[in-house]
Structure 1
């Protein structure tokens, strides 16, 4: 998938924020781009920004499986084969876990994890069928790598997406499909407005007061990465076949601490050689060493002479 020109990308949540930034970068790289989004006003704005040449805008609720299939059909009717799926649509609820309702849990998981699953089940077979190769980018979050209090539901959904992506990577890469877990830090987006698309069946929330206070907490967007910056970072990650596409160096110490905590937690006890030999595939996944080597080589090439 290093050669993007002329190929087709399908981007969910693609009409604003991170998704629109990715769509802009992919179009600039020469791809046909399908932007699928639940909000028509965002789709209208995205088309005004991107134009209609090599762009197809589709209204889509990623939790609606029949609608997802219909959108994929429409994309193929317009552009032919699909090569890149960006499962980007997402929502967020934050607040103390003891205040969370079933509606808070079910809505977040249905979009952030269920939407990714629906994208995979709908579009992966189409990518595999044409044998041109392809790529799937699943938008997680640094919250999935660096869990913190107050975001239990969101973190759960995003950590699941990371694990899903890692498991898929080793299974699909031999078949010509690369999988990446995209874990951005703070980006200028509309995720704070996701409550406007919350379905009535999930209306019950324990976070009404928390949300009100958060909305009054000030505007920090000037500290966040722009959609254009993050879009170019994702394009780079796709072209480099990266397993983890990260955006912010500020997380370095936290990621290192977490990894070291896991290593330190491995018990010092004698191994069972028969058990280790029988289930060797469980104890080490080669994708991690491969990604370490890929990133080391990349950073070495970019180092100052």
Structure 2
């Protein structure tokens, strides 16, 4: 997949924020780009900003609607032929104490942030494997999937699942020509604080209405966040390098380190190991993806 020119990318949530930044970078790498988004007004503005002419296809898509996803994938193939790169980026969020969460809060956030990713993989992965030209899947997780903090239970749960999905799919699919990457950004200038504007009426019962209002009225820290163009270039670099984890912010190193060390410290090493169990189920106790990624990162940083 390092040979991107002329190939086709399908980016969900592609009409603003992170998704638009990724679309810009991929267009700049001479790819055909499909931007799929639930908001037609954002699609209209993004199409003008990209100025990609016939190399850009804007599609209205609700990632939670499986039939709609199939329709969008078919439209992308009708326009450009085979899809080679899938970026599952569409996302929403609610923030606040866990006890305020309603079933509707859980269903909305999990439905988009995890269900939408599942729908993207299930719809497009068979197409990547079928054409045999190589492919890449990038799922937008978050540093909240690695270093979660209080008040983000629903969001962080979905993002952690997306992260694990890529770690699991990577060794299964890489040998078949499809590379899998988890994109875990820190704070980026985006519209996610206003995601409630697209929340379905059937899931309107929220325990976080006041918290959402405060988020949309905020923005005093926006200037501290990474721009969509910066993050788009970072994702492009991660795709070109086949990185498993595409990270953006070095400020998270202490949290990532402490989490890993806390897990290591919790392993009951003094308990006698069952050698027969160990030999029988050896494939469960480690994954080659981590050693491979360590080697890759050492080479990239050399």
1:303 alignment counterpart: none
Where do residues 113-124 of structure 1 align in structure 2 (5 Å cutoff)? 113-124=114-125
Secondary structure, counterpart of 2:246 in structure 1: strand
Q: Distance in 1 between matches of 2:109 and 2:216?
A: 19
Deviates more, 1:51-60 or 1:107-116: 51-60
2:101 alignment counterpart: 100
Where do residues 85-234 of structure 1 align in structure 2 (5 Å cutoff)? 85-234=86-235
Change (3 A) 1:134 1:238: same
Change (3 A) 1:136 1:218: closer
Q: Give the paired residue count.
A: 300
Question: CA offsets per residue over residues 192-220 of structure 1, 9 Å max, x none?
Answer: 11000000111000011222233344421
Question: CA offsets per residue over residues 284-303 of structure 1, 9 Å max, x none?
Answer: 00001100111111111xxx
2:246 alignment counterpart: 245
Question: CA offsets per residue over residues 229-258 of structure 1, 9 Å max, x none?
Answer: 000000000000000000000001110011
Q: Distance in 1 between matches of 2:192 and 2:272?
A: 48
Residue 276 of structure 2 corresponds to residue 274 of structure 1: yes
Q: Distance in 1 between matches of 2:210 and 2:236?
A: 38
Q: Distance in 1 between matches of 2:235 and 2:215?
A: 29
Q: Distance in 1 between matches of 2:9 and 2:217?
A: 37
Secondary structure, counterpart of 2:54 in structure 1: coil
Q: Distance in 1 between matches of 2:219 and 2:297?
A: 37
- TM-score under structure 2 length normalisation: 0.98
Secondary structure, counterpart of 1:178 in structure 2: strand
Secondary structure, counterpart of 1:113 in structure 2: helix
Q: Distance in 1 between matches of 2:185 and 2:223?
A: 16
1:17 alignment counterpart: 17
Gaps of 5+ in 1: 301-305
Root-mean-square deviation over aligned CA pairs: 0.8
Gaps of 5+ in 2: none
Question: CA offsets per residue over residues 133-190 of structure 1, 9 Å max, x none?
Answer: 1000000000000011000000000000001111110110110000000000000000
Residue 261 of structure 2 corresponds to residue 260 of structure 1: yes
Q: Distance in 2 between matches of 1:149 and 1:213?
A: 17
Residue 53 of structure 2 corresponds to residue 62 of structure 1: no
